[in-house]
Each structure stands twice: as structure tokens, then as C-alpha cells.
Structure 1
Amino acid sequence: MKLSSALQPSSHEPKRDKKTRPYTSAGRPTASASRGVAARRSPSKFKTTTATTATAGPSSRRPRTAGALARSVGSVGGDEFTRGDPLLQAVDAGELGDEAAVRVLKAKLKVTMEQMDAATEELKAVKNELQSLKSQHKDTSKEATKEKKSAQAAQRSANQMKRLLDDMTGKYEREKERAKDLQAEVDAMKRKAKQESAGNQGLEVRLNRALEERDNLKLQLQKLKERPAQASDADLKALEDEIKQLRKQRNEVLEAFEKALRLVDVLKRQKVHLEAARALAFTEEEFIQALDWRQLE
């Protein structure tokens, strides 16, 4: 027998009070509550049976017994529906009246619907939490990607700075060696210039003496020219010797002058090297300051 036909109201049944509770005094669902559960489980069958009953008319209705209702509940719910519930087992065994069985089934339906609503709300909360976790995971993934890109960019910048620092360090070492070589060359030139300066002082003394002797010889030559033509051969020979000596002294003076010119050139080159050494020293200080600035960063 179908549960929908079993749940049709009987003409012999008294009207139920609206205040009737869906639970018995023992706290179990009433038969009406259990019958509501069965109706919710098979609404199409319920509608079909209702239509059939309506067309059949009042004369075709038959009063239902507790056993018929129990068989209807058993055919719909089976053993799984009544297992563990003494009231439902009593309904299935036909031990309760029709009204009591309906109240039990309605109460069972209400409890089941409440459990289903609670499960639905719990499922909705779980879905919302899952969606929130997915959104958080997505945001975290984006943030991790950004952090990874930022770390890669910082690593590339650090590698570039390291290469630049290595290049500057190598250049600094090369310039330092070059400055050392130039400084050694400048020191050697200073010593040489000092020696040549000491030699030039002696040359200047000799040059002054030669000039004085030249002036004296000029005076003597002038006096000789003023003498009478009867000058002796001895005097002429002496004059020739003096002229030769003067020419020799003149050549020595010219050589000393050329040496002085070469010394001037050496001093000019020394000045250029000293200026280059100062420039290299200034560049070295700037490089050291740049290194200190990089370390402070």
C-alpha cells in the first residue's frame, strides 16, 4: 500500500486539535509527524492518490487501521527508517492508533527537516569558508609571485652592483700600480734633477769666470789694436793663444747652456708627472669615498 493513500484523512477519525504536540509524552515523534515525513518523501504519489480519492467520492473511502498505516510506513521507509526508534517500530508493528502514528511521523518529519536545515547551514558555512580560503590562497599566491619578482629584481641589481664594484676595484688596483710606477719615476727624476742642479751651479760659476776673462781679453785686444804697428811677433802669438782659449771657453759655455736647456726640459716633464700624480691621488680619494658610500648603503 502506498503511503500517500494511507495518509489521507479518514471520515471516521475525529478532528485533531491544532495545539496537539508532535511528540508523545515519552519524547518520541508522533504518528502524524512520521506520516508528514513519508508525504514529503513521495509528493507525486501523494498528489495522485489525493486526486483518485477526490474522484472516488466519500462513499469509496474506507477507515484505516493501525496495521494498514504500519504497513504503509514499512513499505515507504523500510527497516532503515524504523531502526533504533521504538515509536517508529511500534508504528510499523501496528501497535499505535492512526492518530498517534500520524503524530509520530510528523514529529519525525520535523526533526528530520531541522536536521536537514542544520546540515544545509553547516554545508553553506563550509562552502563559504572554502571560498574564503580559496580567495586567501589566491591573494597569497599573487603576493608570493610579487615578492618572488621583487626578490629576483633585487638579486639582479645586487649582481650588477657586484660586477660594477669588481670592475671599479680592478681599475683602482691598476691605477694604484700605475701611480706607484709614476711615483718611482718622479723620485728618480727628482734625484737626477738635484744632481744636475748641483752640476749647473758649478757651470754657472765657470760661465761667469769665462765671461769675465772674455771681457778682460776684449780690453787687452782693444789696447793691442791701439798699439803701434811695430808690435812684436811674440805678442801676436800670445794673442792667438788667448783667442784659442777664448774660443774653447766659448764652446764650453755653449755646452753648459745646452745642458741648462736640457735641464729645463727635464724639469718641465717632472712638473707634468707631478701634476699627473696629484690627479691620480685625487681620483684614488674619490674612489675610496665611493666605496665607503656603497658600504653605508
Structure 2
Amino acid sequence: MWAHVGGETRRTNALDLRETDVSAASALRAVRDPGGWLGCPEPTAVYDVVGVLDGPREVGPAALAAAARSRGYDAPAAARLATVRAALAEPLPAVRGLRAARKRLAVASADIDVRRERVERLGGKVAALRAAGEMDDGVRDAHARAIAALTDAETERFAAAETYERRREEARAVRDERERRLRLADEERRLEREAAAALAAAIRPSYERAQRAVPEGPWRDVLALARVARVRAPLVVAGGPFERAARAAACLDAPVVLVTGGMPARV
């Protein structure tokens, strides 16, 4: 990495800024957003876990798993976990038009009732006129038009019923898909726990060796985690047990930027 500090440009993997006013937060911003006074490789995913060392920290399975991934370890369930995540990332189908289809069917059904009643009423008039030996062309034509209108209404109701049933099937399919995704979300959480446990177990021997290679004291666990992780961007060390930046870089097996402690800065 290189840093433009105090009017000069330094190229080093062990930068000591404890005699300057550079804080952990500003150093972190410089690492995250190169192009300013600090030039370095882009941080990888594990940087979220070990990028800033600003005090003692408990190291759990999730942190060990992140370190293991940085070193290329792969959990047994990784393929299935990727499949589950891909399925959960797919857009959920939307149900459109169910309410409109229900309303259309209700309107069509009501229209049939009205038109059937009109056909029956006019049919009664036609029958009565026929029985009396009389006939009114207006009544007969009105009856014929009513029958035709009833036929059209029945056709519309059939189409409305088909559309409504189709929309109901789509709604059921979406409900089934939501339930499936709830099960997948449960499976994702289970697989994540299993993957973290497997990765943590795989890297634990290396982590325990790293614990023996870093200074004793309250910082030991988090320093061991940083040592066992594979990072590209410089670690920001705020405080800690190191007197010299070169010693910190050698101990952590990574480039470092040392700043004055006392102001917590999380990644």
C-alpha cells in the first residue's frame, strides 16, 4: 500500500500513524474508498469482520466461518445453501385481477338473473297471446331479443367464471409458493448455522495455532482471528499491544495501519 502523509508518500505494509491526527474512522474510510491519501487493494468480505481491531472481542463461530471462507474453505452444505438462496432471490409471482374477476362474475351472474326473469315474463305473454289466438309481433320480437340477450349473458358468465377460476388457481399457486419460501427460509437459516459450525471446526486448529503466535492478553483472540484470516486490504489497528507497526504486520501476517486507540470504529 501507499500513503500520502505529512507531505510525503510512503510505500509500506506497516504504516504507523499514531503520531498524527488520523483516527480509526478516517483510516477506515480511506481503506474503503481508495483514491485519497491511502492506496491499497479493495477489501474482501472478511474485512467486515476483522478490518478494524479496536479492542478485545469475543470470537464466535460466525467470525471463524468468515475467516475460513477467506482462506478458501468450503462448507459441505455450500452447494445446497447457494441453491436455496437463489430460489429465495427469485421474484415472487404476483396475483393480478382476482378481485376484478370476482366482481365480473358477480355482475354477470346478477345480469343472468335479470335477463332470465325478463325471458320468462315475455314468454308468458307470448304463450297467453297464442292461447287466445292472438299474436303481437312487438311482444314476440321482444321475447326473441330477450332470449338472445340471455344467451349472450350466459356466454359472458361462462367466460367470467373461467377467468375467475384461473385467477383463483394462480392465487393458490402463489400461496403455495409463499409457504414453500417460508420453508426455504427456515432451511437457509439451518444451513447457515451448519455451514458456520463446519467452517469454524475446519479452521479452529489454525486459529488455535494463531492464538499461540500473537501476544497474550485481552486482545489475543481477535488478533488470532485477524492472523488466521486472509486479507488484502490493510487492517486498521486502533490501540493494542504493538509497539512497532512492523511487528504488528508480521504478527498479523497482513498489512496494517496503526492509529491511536480510544475511539471505537466498527466496519
Same fold by TM-score greater than 0.5: no
**Bigger Cα Rg:** 1
**Higher relative contact order, chain-length normalized (CA < 8 Å, sep 6+):** 2
TM-score, normalising length: structure 1:
0.38
Greater strand percent: which structure? 2
Q: What is the TM-score with the length of structure 2 in the denominator?
A: 0.42
